[in-house]
Amino acid sequence: MTSGAWGGRRAAEALDRVKTVGRAKNLPCFICKLPIDYDLEWPDLMSCSVQHIRSRKAYPELTWVPSNWAGAHLTCNSAAGDGSSDPYDLGATSL
């Protein structure tokens, strides 16, 4: 698949997929490692969002690749920024 802006129907489908997998495997937030309540909905800051494991900025070709998606709290994902830093070196975020 090609890269592109994040949004619309494809982003909604990606979030549904991340939530389905996260719920089934009881996966924690990719960033802070705390549990995610997969029933919470946006704009709740603790709701699930799609975190790109490899940033869209550095790896735009991976934007729509499901293996590059992980669940993260909306607040953690927002705090992570644009992916300028290595996603494996984010540490814990303040809640």
Per-residue model confidence as pLDDT tens digits over 26-84: 999 999 999 999 999 999 999 999 999 999 999 999 999 999 999 999 999 999 876 54
φ/ψ of residue 5, rounded to 5: -65, 150
Task: Inform me whether the pLDDT recorded for 95 exceeds 80.
Answer: no
Task: Inform me whether the pLDDT recorded for 5 exceeds 90.
Answer: no
Looking at residue 14, its amino acid is: A
Query: What's the confidence (pLDDT) of residue 3?
Result: 55
Query: What's the confidence (pLDDT) of residue 92?
Result: 46
Q: pLDDT band at residue 91, thresholds of 50, 70 and 90? A: very low
Identify any residues that bridge with 72 across adjacent strands, giving them in sequence order: 49
Task: Inform me whether the pLDDT recorded for 93 exceeds 50.
Answer: no
Which pTM does this prediction carry?
0.80
In this structure, what token pair is assigned to residue 95?
């809640």
